[in-house]
Structures are given as structure tokens and as C-alpha cells.
Structure 1
Amino acid sequence: MAVTFDLFGTLIEAPKPADPARAIAVELDARGVETPEGWTEAYRTPHVDAPDGAEVPLPAHVAAALRSLGVEPPANTVRRAVVAAFDPDVHTREGAVEAVRAARDCGPVGILSNCSVPELVSRSLIRSAFSREEFDAVVSSVGCGWRKPHPKAFEAIASRLDRPVSELVHVGDSLEADGGIEACGGQAIVLVDGTAMAEVPALLEAGNG
């Protein structure tokens, strides 16, 4: 048995910008890239053709949106602006530390997070009550290329933990994304409908008994 956790909304809270297009525009402007008229609409429009379930890195989307408006900034400038726009203010959720400690009694522990922003998962962990060493593997959708509930996302974290997906218990806050592990043969603990983080240690112990 191995236990994996969703990150945002499960272990931590890290609010996104209220207006991502504007936040990115501010960071681009600070780096000498002016966003032209029509930027907001361009940001909201898909520009990268990707298979169902594939993750499109946000810098790639932003660069494509800018190109659609005739702007071609350096790729590293776009990436830095996107990362800065989503620089997280992190709060560790109540009971999360205890849940991860309980998971370690069951076997390897990992994080599997849907996140299109490079570096955001690692930056968020640094600012949380967790250390990177508490997790045997950390996989983000921008890193593996697939978003939960796509099977390849769960397969990626299972491979890193050296376990089959059928031996994973995944803890998250979305029935669709995190609960998707059940279609792959694993188990889900989804923190909805009254299930609280404080219950996770007992649920894991019962499942490992």
C-alpha cells in the first residue's frame, strides 16, 4: 500500500490570483513585455491543441496567446512572469500534518497535484508546514504531462513510488479528479460530503488493517 495526496485544497490552501490574466500582465510589464489590447480575451482562449487529459503548461499557453496578438517575448521571460504571478501565499490545512504522518505508517507517501504552473508545487511545499523529505515522490501535472483523473497521472506517481496503481490510496478534495483513481483500480478518500481531514488517519488505518 502507498498513499498519495492532492496538494492544493487538500494539504494546503494557496489562493490563485483573482484575475490571472491581469496578474500575468503586470509581471510581463515588469519584465518589459507590454500586453496589447485584447490580451484578456486572448488569455481566456485556448491556443494549444492537446489530447484530452493532457496538461498544457501555463507559460506555453501564455506565449501562444501573446503570439496570437503579434507579440513574441523570450520564453524564459514568459515563464518567469507566470511563476511570479502565481507566487503562493500558503496556509497548511488543519489536520494535514497528522494525516501525512499517519500515511507514513502505511507505506510510501507521495503528492499528485494538478498544476499548470512550473515550480508552483515546490514553492508551495517550501512555504508549508511540510518538508520535501516527508514525501517519497512529488508529481505535478505540469511535470508528468497529464491531469487527474487521466490514468497516466496516477500511473506516473505509482511508478515513482514503485507500486502498482491498484495499491494506491489517493486523498483529495475532488470527486472527479481525485476520485478518478478508482477507475484505475486504486482507492480514493475524497474530502467532500462531510469527510474531514481529521478522519484520514483512521480511514488509512482501517484500510491497512
Structure 2
Amino acid sequence: MSPQPPSGASMDRIRAITFDAFGTIVDTGRDALIRISERIVRDLFLEVDATRFLERWDVHFFGIDHDPFLTIAEASGVSLARTFSELGVDGDPDPYVEMLQAEWQRASPYPEVRGVLEALEGTPRAVVSNADDAMLKEILSRHGLQFDAVLTSEACRSYKPAARIFEAAIRELGVSADRILHVGDSLEADVGGAQRLGMATAWVNRSGEPVKADSPRPNLTVRDLGGLLPALGRTD
């Protein structure tokens, strides 16, 4: 059974907010992966197109069990090597992982993010992200995006939707789980993971993606972060 919104969850109870990073406050992800896949297909003269290549890379990336724990960079290299092996390619994944990291490093916040964070000034807030520590902190610092805490999968040695990274954020914020709103773009990793700890949730559905019947149900769905403000009684 998929997680459901916490019983009695209400936006007027919210005293702190946690945000996912990529796809929620920072605009990056699939486009970078597509560009790197196109480069790989071109460089190695592959007979598959970039979309098909990325599909196979995804299968291997998300199939990693992370025991022992691997960072995003490490998992990208391992999964790319497995994709090369599946396709019978004699290639070195390392240069392409470095290119991918460089693409992600250029990530920028979505247009509404600064205004929303300013409107939420005074509310404790943290980032909870499946990301490598140094890269994410550098992106946030470069764009002047300030949070009370930044919790990454690398630092916590755990990926959402597992509880550990959310529990770390709850401790850092010093607010009970039922008074924290978690905001993210993944129904499984963000909404499902946070709800299991009793947090309220907001799903950022920028692309208008339909909700599957067995997906977790958020307390709030918004097209971008600006939709949080009226729900929280704030103005931009």
C-alpha cells in the first residue's frame, strides 16, 4: 500500500520546511544526461540512439543496491561501465562522468525560487537531497541560496526515500516531524519517504505529470514553488 498524507496534516501547523534540490529548487537533471548520452553515442559510434542508451544507463543506475554506499558520482561510473558492458562497448566511463558532473555543476535555481525563499524568511528550512555533498553546497553557495541545514545522501550515507536523511533534517531543524513540510518533485523519494515519518508533503509537478493509482498522495500539489505561498499564508 502506498503512503498516504498524515492524518490531520494541515498547512497551518507547519513550522519548518525541507526542500529537495534537483528538480525542485535547482533546474537540472535529464537534459544533462541526454547531452552526455548523445556525446557517448557519437564518440563510440554506437548503433543505438541517445534515448535508448540513456534508458539502459537508467536501468543500471537505479539497479545499484548501494551496499556498500556509493556516491552519485561513483554510482554514475559503475552504472555507465555496466551499460558499456551490456552493449559490448570497450569504453572508459570516467571522462563521461566528469562531463556529467560539470554539467550538473552549472545548475541554476528556477526563476521563482529566490522570491519564494525571501517570502519564507524566518521559517526554518533545510535541503534534503540525493546528491553529492561538495557539488550541491557549491551550487547553493554560488547562487546565494541560504538554508539552515543542507543534508545530502553522501553526508548521511543514505538515499531518499529511506528514513535516515529525513531523520537527520528533523534533528537539525529541531521541529517535530508533523510540523515540517517536505517539498519535492518525486512522489516516491520525496512524498513517500517524508510521509512515512509523519511529515506533511508538497509535490512539485512542473510538467503536469499524471499521478499513478498506487503512488503516494501529497497534502499539496503545486506547479512551482510559488504555489506554496498561498497555502502557507504567505505572499511573495
TM-score, normalised with respect to structure 1: 0.67
Unaligned runs of 5+ residues in structure 2 are 1-14, 41-52, 86-93, 209-220
Structure 1 SS opposite 2:116? helix
Aligned mate of 2:107, from 90, 93, 100:
90
1:200 correspondence with 2:228? yes
Moved beyond 6 Å, runs of 4+: 21-24, 40-44, 63-66
RMSD across aligned C-alpha pairs, in angstroms? 3.8
Which residue number in structure 2 is paired with residue 187 of structure 1? 200
C-alpha contact (below 8 Å) 1:175/1:190 kept by paired residues: yes
TM-score, normalised with respect to structure 2: 0.60
C-alpha distance in 1 between matches for 2:175 and 2:21:
20
1:23–1:144 CA distance, 2 compared to 1 (3 A): farther
Deviation digits for residues 93-136 of structure 1 (CA, Å, limit 9, x no counterpart): 12211222233333x11111112x452212321343x33xx210
1:105–1:91 CA distance, 2 compared to 1 (3 A): same
C-alpha distance in 2 between matches for 1:7 and 1:138:
10
Deviation digits for residues 17-49 of structure 1 (CA, Å, limit 9, x no counterpart): 32657879xxxxxxxxxxxxxxx9899746965
C-alpha contact (below 8 Å) 1:6/1:111 kept by paired residues: yes
1:55–1:10 CA distance, 2 compared to 1 (3 A): farther
Which residue number in structure 1 is paired with residue 158 of structure 2? 146
1:23–1:112 CA distance, 2 compared to 1 (3 A): farther
1:153 alignment partner AA: I
1:191 alignment partner AA: V
Which residue number in structure 2 is paired with residue 14 of structure 1? 28
Which residue number in structure 2 is paired with residue 172 of structure 1? 184
Instruction: Percent identity, please.
Output: 23
Structure 2 SS opposite 1:176? helix
Shift of 1:146: 1.7
C-alpha distance in 1 between matches for 2:138 and 2:34:
19
Unaligned runs of 5+ residues in structure 1 are 25-39, 70-77
1:144 alignment partner AA: C
Shift of 1:92: 1.8
Number of matched pairs:
183
